[in-house]
Structure 1
Amino acid sequence: MTLARVFEQLAGAEAPVEFTAYDGSKAGVPGAPIRFDVRSPYAVSYLVNSPGALGLARGYVTGMIDVNGDMIEALTTMQQVLSDVTPRDKARIVAGVLRDPLLRAAMSRRLDPPPQEAPFSRIPSWLRHSKRRDAKAISHHYDVSNTFYEWVLGPSMAYTCACYPEEHSTLEEAQFHKHDLVAKKIGLRPGMRLLDVGCGWGGMVMHAAKEYGVKALGVTLSKQQAEWAQKAIADRGLSDLAEVRHMDYRDVTETGFDAVSSIGLTEHIGKKNLPSYFSFLHGKLKRGGRMLNHTITRPNNLAPPRKENGFINRYVFPDGELEGPGYVQQQMNDAGFEIRHQENLREHYARTLTAWCRNLEEHWDEAVAEVGEGTARVWRVYMAGCVLGFNQNWIQLHQTLGVKLDEDGGSRMPLRPDWGV
């Protein structure tokens, strides 16, 4: 059985893609916008011996499987054409593959995972989230290359969901609006002190200092992020107000902050640590201080918070865990915060990721030269897959605003939200 025949049995003879294989077989529609190339029989080993979509990802990251065309469109199309394939169909096709001596030999060989796969992502949950492990997990994803991130993220260097104020706003406009939305929600004013945990490349810290005259401290576990941010702060003349430190948020000793922002850190904390995390942030605030938590969530808590064999946990965010928005809010509330506002920005994250995908494609050759083709491929398929995830409500993005009440129960909040849209 040729691989083209296998593809036809899976996707149908008229699937709106082109398929080619190392054995010279072809299927699908010649000249289609999307073309899948299987370059090695060992791709079959990854596909058969790896759980779920992990095998496809391993084949793509190693270059045994290639995708020509827009990756978002490719994943969307394959999701549609393979949606009706049943386990019985898969079993029948595997049986046909086994009749081919070359494919049978390739399938029987167990291949090592690509080097881009985090080797420490599969340990028991009770061993996760020590300071040392968290630093290692963060470094795996964020200490890739500041130059690479500049190409993907653009000038804002903001690696979190943007907020698009208008239908046709640019990525940079949307990232500025996101930082300003956070600043307004937490009520920043000149002379205040802000703690930004998981600050990345310092976007929120610099925004608070420049636009609001706030003395802002940011902390990150990524050494490369901290070095880039400190240089950017100095270059922009903000050193008297803004600071970014390479450290664990748990090691911040200062207290009495007027506001706290957590933009994209909660995903890395772990479910069992959320109570202590929010309690720690609550303890850093003055009475009447506000905390804004901006985090990726899942629509509900019916499934485990992480897929142990999932591509994201193996390649992108080792030890990452997502919770439902209600659970996150409950932990904030139980830590002492009064919840004042919550909103879901999942469509905004789909737009943000689409813009990052476009940036990567525009800098593809430079990105491959900078970080290697395997890592660039990880990013290409990861971001495109997340576009589908946010568009189809597999994952969400919630901003939740809490306040540390006065001793008499006062919130110091306006009667109605004053931060606009």
Structure 2
Amino acid sequence: MNKVLTPVGEVFTRLLGPSAEVSITAYDGSRSGPEDAPVAIEVRSPLALTYLMSSPGDLGLARAYVAGALEVKGDLYTALHALAAQVDQLTTADRVWLLRKLGSTHLRRVAPPAEELPSRLRRTVQGLRHSKARDSSAIANHYDVSNRFYELVLGPSMAYTCAVFPKAEASLEEAQANKFDLVCRKLGLKPGMRLLDVGCGWGGMAEHAAEHYGVTVLGVTLSREQASWAQKDIVAKGLADRAEVRHSDYRDVTETGFDAISSIGLTEHIGARNLGSYFGFLAKRLKPGGRLLNHCITNPDTSVAHHSRGFIDRYVFPDGELEAVGEIVTAMHDSGLEVRHSENLREHYASTLAGWCANLDEHWDEAVAEAGAGRSRVWALYMAACRLAFERREIELHQVLGVKVEPGGEAHLPLRPDWGV
């Protein structure tokens, strides 16, 4: 006798509870949740359930969404916010019950969406983790999607790192300009100085420092697409005599004697084991009295694993690693840099991501035409999920300022910070 399976909508009612502010409709005609819920989820095919049951955690949900087997009607962030508490509370007993109600056929292996990268183990064909070859491949996978796609998501600033909002109602562009200016002030930049900007992206920091502070800047990025876009923009803005963006691994920079170094959003790609050599390398490029500003996403404490997993590792930042701010500070100190200031900008990154999500939503059709539906869904999901993670303090964002003191101990810093907000 064939087993009569439970309607999909009823299953979700049991899992999410009657108070969930999400409406769910399924391919079998069943539904769950209040009809007037602010967000509606469509389970479009059995493939969605197969992904969810065969891949526990966020990877299964991501596969279902990226493949289009699960659709969200309404704001994706609102949906994740509404579901976060319920999903976090799922127990082994819940999963066993789910299997009984929906059937074991959903445990079969199915191919993941085309946008998914191989597992960390299978990526060893590209070299050891954080070797130059493998880092180059990882960066190209994420950043060489399409410059036009990033223009649509990031806006005119082309800044792909946490902005600093001078006030809550500031625009994303104002906040990104304020971030670059804050970094320049913390570094104490003055006309005639030399700045090295590692992991420079599309050149926003290099251009701001050259234009507004009169410094000479060398920016380096592993993304060929970023370097090409940035160098053209530098020429177009008449800054080619003061700024250069080079397609290069930071480890291949031979110049020394810089007055300052900015590292904005690069440490996440370095690897915890390499922090010492990373800061040691940069310290050797500074002249005595020079400052280094490290700006990166961090773990909330040292108990959290360094390696990214699941959705983020397979779809967004392959081989990405995060450390707690204490580990960053220790590595900087051990490399000979004296840490003089640290600032947590966690809430600012949540607001930054909200701006990027709004940009992608506004330009959705053009983004899909440029990068494909699957890739656009990856970015929409990861940015909404990261916004929620920053709000819930699952991750943080720290700026840490260090100085390479003179042999006699002089740091050439004011007695109190003079860079303002």
Contact 1:120 1:318 (C-alpha < 8 Å) held by counterparts: no
SS of 1:294 mapped into structure 2: strand
Letter in 2 for 1:116: E
Residue 16 of structure 2: aligned partner: 11
Does 2:241 correspond to 1:236?
no
Q: 1:52 aligns with which of 38, 45, 57?
A: 57
SS of 1:156 mapped into structure 2: coil
SS of 2:340 mapped into structure 1: strand
Cα displacement (A) at 1:124: 8.1
Residue 164 of structure 1: aligned partner: 165
Contact 1:182 1:292 (C-alpha < 8 Å) held by counterparts: yes
Residue 27 of structure 1: aligned partner: 32
Contact 2:25 2:32 (C-alpha < 8 Å) held by counterparts: yes
Letter in 1 for 2:130: H
SS of 2:246 mapped into structure 1: strand
Residue 156 of structure 2: aligned partner: 155
SS of 2:323 mapped into structure 1: coil
Cα displacement (A) at 1:51: 2.6
Residue 127 of structure 1: aligned partner: 128
Contact 1:298 1:394 (C-alpha < 8 Å) held by counterparts: yes
The structure 1 segments of at least 4 consecutive aligned residues displaced by more than 6 Å after TM superposition are none
Letter in 1 for 2:276: P
Cα displacement (A) at 1:108: 3.9
Deviations 1:214-249 (A, max 9, x none): 000000000000000001000000000000000100
Cα displacement (A) at 1:27: 1.4
Letter in 1 for 2:347: E
Letter in 2 for 1:258: D
Alignment of 1:8-407 (within 5 A): 8-98=13-103, 104-105=104-105, 107-119=106-118, 121-123=120-122, 127-308=128-309, 310-407=310-407
Cα displacement (A) at 1:316: 0.4
Q: Matched residues in 2 for 1:336 and 1:287: separation?
A: 11
Q: Matched residues in 2 for 1:201 and 1:254: separation?
A: 21
TM-score when scaled to structure 2? Answer: 0.96
Deviations 1:168-223 (A, max 9, x none): 11101100110000000011000000000000000000001000110000000000
Q: Matched residues in 2 for 1:124 and 1:226: separation?
A: 25
SS of 1:402 mapped into structure 2: strand
Deviations 1:257-303 (A, max 9, x none): 01000000000000111111000000000010000000000011113
Letter in 2 for 1:285: L
Contact 1:9 1:93 (C-alpha < 8 Å) held by counterparts: no
Contact 1:312 1:318 (C-alpha < 8 Å) held by counterparts: yes
Count of aligned residue pairs for this structure pair: 414
Contact 1:118 1:140 (C-alpha < 8 Å) held by counterparts: no
Q: Matched residues in 1 for 2:355 and 2:236: separation?
A: 26
Cα displacement (A) at 1:123: 4.6
Residue 3 of structure 2: aligned partner: none
Contact 2:62 2:311 (C-alpha < 8 Å) held by counterparts: yes
Q: Matched residues in 2 for 1:323 and 1:376: separation?
A: 28
Deviations 1:362-417 (A, max 9, x none): 00011111100000000011000001110110000000000001111100111111
SS of 2:192 mapped into structure 1: coil
Cα displacement (A) at 1:40: 1.1
Letter in 1 for 2:118: P
**Unpaired runs of 5+ in structure 2?**
1-5
Q: Matched residues in 1 for 2:19 and 2:415: separation?
A: 59
Cα displacement (A) at 1:83: 4.5
* Range with greater deviation from structure 2 (298-307 or 241-250): 298-307
TM-score when scaled to structure 1? Answer: 0.96
Contact 2:53 2:107 (C-alpha < 8 Å) held by counterparts: no
Percent of aligned pairs sharing the same letter: 58
Q: Matched residues in 1 for 2:40 and 2:90: separation?
A: 20
Cα displacement (A) at 1:55: 0.4
Q: Matched residues in 2 for 1:186 and 1:14: separation?
A: 50
Contact 2:308 2:320 (C-alpha < 8 Å) held by counterparts: no
Q: Matched residues in 1 for 2:171 and 2:386: separation?
A: 20
**Unpaired runs of 5+ in structure 1?**
99-103
